[in-house]
Structure 1
């Protein structure tokens, strides 16, 4: 539809610019909420009326008169509501337009985009909240790539932070393990899950222990052993686990950027020089911040410490340096080396200050998306302000986007099913906050395993004739679809309460429902003979449909045509639930249509061929949407 409306807008401007002061971009189309007003609508008469100081209705009448002859037979032009210019599309022309453009994709763009997502502290196994970040980030990246943007997916690894220091201190000083013993740990990510919880309980009970933990943190930052060696080994092994878990649900990265490399290569000193020269970074005059170098955050009129009085960098200092590298604010680059490979051979690169043989041209980014939860909004807003101060963006552009999201909770039912502790008070709540300190937490790998096991039960019921390996594969695909859809179908700024039953339902607003619809579509189309599957080349006028079917048929065509616009709108609003909702409503519309109008058993050739054409169009668009959401399509369900 985007290409069609662009064509309509270009034609209108060509026809009208000799009589009306029309600028490029003035003509914008929307789909009316009520179809009796047409299929497309524009408020152009209101805009021109304001510009020409005339009544919208008079402008509208002139526009209808001028355009009606020009747009037939493609569309009928009418006026409604005192100045809304409406277009009712010719059904036959519109169907052929969709068929002819079925393989078209948005044009390639030359604006490189960097999406940073996941970015888990490499100190323990990933948890359910990290899955929401990764699913949102991956769907964002897939959407941008589909829209034609050159894309890099990066994962920031905070391997020198306080959370890594917590577990290093726990291993060396609480459990009293040597580096050799630590290296023999079989599943570091899982073991450190428990160590981290134990350390936090200890620190809460004995605040004096924080001094010892802080000394460990300082030793890691200064690369002193054994602390640094333990931190390096732990972070690398845990990172491998994170990559494996995310790969199991179809999430991949191009580059892992390690914080230690930012520190070792002294990127922040370069960034600080730029900030100081521009007057953005300065020494505070606040007695409580004596000796600290700060940035003033204008939105809240306060100073944020960037460099402490002892010369050490805060978290935002490292993040600023990383962001400057992303957008090409300085020429220095990282050395890169191979970290690992995916099963199909795709290489994951990592930064490494010690040197690397890989030559890659990462960045500079025209636009950066950071997928980070809402608790980091304050720091992310400061970074956005700094970039704007250094180089104001053209009106309407945002070169730095904090793609924020809320936390993931669990329903009380889910907490019970996971055999986690549940207080009487929590039992009465609609959702229970995940808390490692309270013992209410679930590893990402365990959640995926549980989903797969529950999916397998359903697969066994429905497909007892399939082999064990085939049922295993289908169960994994259903589990991945259920998880990924659940994580993006809600508004990103809303807390979501995960529930196994809700996520895995085969009916309703779920991933398995979408998968089932496409599996069903494929099954229907497989029953057609070869000639019927090539029906897209047959030109059939939808006028042969009765009025009821014509309305249902064309409603689905309009939904199909609106797909790319829905994706772009979801990105503009930073709310990927719009993509999920579009896929769900399309599935509902198709299933209602198929229940009402037979395909295989329809004796009338024209009706059967029209319905097959619609099924083929739905399959192509729905398959595209599921791919963007990272939802696999099983052979059977």
Structure 2
């Protein structure tokens, strides 16, 4: 049994090549199509030792190996096929013996890793952009834990700043109406979204109305047009909940909303008890709604880190500024009560681009407001310091949108200047989700929420599955919908934008969550009908194998190495691509060859092969958070 059969094969090939050439440290690569399975380029050695080509050619026919076959020297490459009888038995014995642990690498050094993901502002329901963040972050947590790392999954809860105060101020005036709706079964984050958006809209209407005074005709018209847009936001919410919106607008009409939220923001940072209790109450309601959504996708966090606690009330955010002034005074400017960090100057003079993986351009960063309150970036730096100090991480993976590339670069530069190991901070950036003509603005009440996305997927799956007897359609449809969404967001490189396409999300023929689930069900059904739990040693690999059988054996053997590389590179899309190829190969095999009705000897082998595929699919699905079903 081998935890990594592919690596054992590489080791064997390298050993033989070193014996033949008399040289060590040889690179093993995959051979070009038609030239074998593995290859070692020997061009550099031959240039220094021309006689080596003849020696290698003469020695290849003398090689004896249990796992290699048809060793040959072609155009400077030492190529080999695989003895699938012996290697196939090693692969299947390993997969069958290890089962749920197949793919783990016991020689991986366990690290303390923090994965911070989702971290949505507690103002409104999670939307489709958060969904990509959530899926990527949770899949990374699952992957790294599977590989043996000690992982802490954390949600950074931004409960300070102006936007949260809009929520809290609105909530203060309509508490009873909000509670009544939640008691009737409405999701808390959906109700609080109305409160936040309407309060924001009223503030914008008030601001724009004040700006009208003394403006010329053209500018006046433009301001009125912008104000009318915010009035229409209120009107849209009125059509959804007239009582709540009417009450809120009436209560806010006698208040200078912008001045009040600014006052509350400072009071909250100062720890004023009444404001603190109000904000916590409002934010916790939104958080309850978040957790309902997260539970649908089986996403769990070890800790919610409240920004106020880890960065503000302990004074850390303000100390960051003062410590930065002391540590790097030539890179901090002060004017009219505002500190500005010259990240551009620091990056250039200290040549930090490669060390800190910086973008080509990094702008200066403002660190505080003139009233003394801190800004998001400064609090974010404080959180990073808190995390590095208190969580003892070897690595902190922050799943944050690509739009935050510059702030995250500024953060790493500041950490470096403050004496912290900024290389431990990894910005796992992801691109936006493109919805075509759909415009998103949570402030304006325009967003495709994760809840609505999931319900739409459930409806579409139900339509596909209608008429299938013997199933709990509701339960299966929801599991398939979750799998479809999770697979889709993990399948595309985070560096690429996603153009959301239901045709791809629910494609039953290839490269989708439902396709993987259905392939797993096929494998499960075969083994269930056979009513035999084939174990290592209970089968013999035939000397004559079909191409599909050989391909499946090789892919099952590659799984641990693939998983190891994915965990090192944090490229989930490569795992998704692998299981899609495995599923395609298995379905071709399924259509062409009998398993249960195969002749004795072949039957046992094919059952072992099917079980090996099932093991790889199930372990991959659990890493990607795709629900595992036994029937579809």
TM-score, normalized by length of structure 1?
A: 0.79
| TM superposition shift of 1:621 | 0.6
Q: Counterpart of 1:554?
A: 550
| TM superposition shift of 1:501 | 4.6
Q: Which 5+ residue runs of structure 2 have no aligned equivalent?
A: 211-256, 349-359
Cα distance in 1 between the residues matched to 2:78 and 2:336:
62
1:585 is aligned to 2:562? no
Residue by residue, what CA displacement relative to the aligned partner does 1:155-198 show, whole Å, maximum 9, x if unpaired?
A: 110011332122223344xxx43x56655552431122223333
Q: Is this contact kept in 2: 1:408–1:433, CA < 8 A? A: no
Q: Counterpart of 1:216?
A: 264
Q: Secondary structure at the match of 1:120?
A: coil
Cα distance in 1 between the residues matched to 2:315 and 2:416:
23
Q: Which 5+ residue runs of structure 1 have no aligned equivalent?
A: 334-362, 412-425, 427-431
Cα distance in 1 between the residues matched to 2:570 and 2:490:
11
1:372 is aligned to 2:400? yes
| TM superposition shift of 1:590 | 0.4
Q: Counterpart of 1:169?
A: 169
| TM superposition shift of 1:7 | 3.9
Cα distance in 2 between the residues matched to 1:553 and 1:281:
67
| TM superposition shift of 1:516 | 0.8
Q: Pick closer, same or farther for the CA change 1:291–1:124 going to 2, 3 Å.
A: closer
Q: Pick closer, same or farther for the CA change 1:301–1:409 going to 2, 3 Å.
A: closer
Q: Counterpart of 1:327?
A: 388
Q: Is this contact kept in 1: 2:264–2:275, CA < 8 A? A: yes
Q: Pick closer, same or farther for the CA change 1:94–1:61 going to 2, 3 Å.
A: farther
Q: Counterpart of 1:3?
A: 4
| TM superposition shift of 1:633 | 1.7
Residue by residue, what CA displacement relative to the aligned partner does 1:486-528 show, whole Å, maximum 9, x if unpaired?
A: 2211222222233445423433321111111111111111111
Q: Is this contact kept in 2: 1:293–1:308, CA < 8 A? A: no
Q: Counterpart of 1:266?
A: 315
| TM superposition shift of 1:392 | 9.0
Q: Counterpart of 2:301?
A: 253
Residue among 599, 603, 618 paired with 1:623: 618
| TM superposition shift of 1:628 | 0.9
Q: Is this contact kept in 2: 1:297–1:304, CA < 8 A? A: no
**Bigger RCO of structures 1 and 2 (CA < 8 A, at least 6 apart):** 2
Q: Is this contact kept in 2: 1:268–1:318, CA < 8 A? A: yes
What root-mean-square deviation, in Å, do the aligned CA atoms of Structure 1 and Structure 2 show?
Answer: 3.2
Cα distance in 1 between the residues matched to 2:6 and 2:416:
33
| TM superposition shift of 1:436 | 3.8
Pairwise mapping of residues 591-602 of structure 1 onto structure 2 (< 5 A)? 591-602=587-598
Q: Is this contact kept in 1: 2:552–2:585, CA < 8 A? A: yes
Cα distance in 1 between the residues matched to 2:61 and 2:605:
29
Q: Pick closer, same or farther for the CA change 1:13–1:72 going to 2, 3 Å.
A: closer
Q: Is this contact kept in 2: 1:15–1:67, CA < 8 A? A: no
| TM superposition shift of 1:58 | 5.5
Q: Secondary structure at the match of 2:494?
A: coil
Q: Based on CA coordinates, which of the two structures has the bigger radius of gyration?
A: 2
Q: Pick closer, same or farther for the CA change 1:313–1:578 going to 2, 3 Å.
A: same
Residue by residue, what CA displacement relative to the aligned partner does 1:433-470 show, whole Å, maximum 9, x if unpaired?
A: 4334665422222222232233334444212x34xxx3
1:198 is aligned to 2:191? no
| TM superposition shift of 1:223 | 2.8
Q: Is this contact kept in 2: 1:118–1:137, CA < 8 A? A: yes
1:156 is aligned to 2:156? yes
Q: Secondary structure at the match of 1:401?
A: strand
Q: Pick closer, same or farther for the CA change 1:218–1:89 going to 2, 3 Å.
A: same
Mean Cα deviation higher: 517-526 or 65-74: 65-74
Q: Pick closer, same or farther for the CA change 1:109–1:323 going to 2, 3 Å.
A: same
Q: Counterpart of 1:31?
A: 30
Residue by residue, what CA displacement relative to the aligned partner does 1:228-267 show, whole Å, maximum 9, x if unpaired?
A: 3221101112112212211111111111111010211223
Q: Counterpart of 1:422?
A: none
Q: Pick closer, same or farther for the CA change 1:5–1:273 going to 2, 3 Å.
A: farther
Q: Pick closer, same or farther for the CA change 1:387–1:54 going to 2, 3 Å.
A: farther
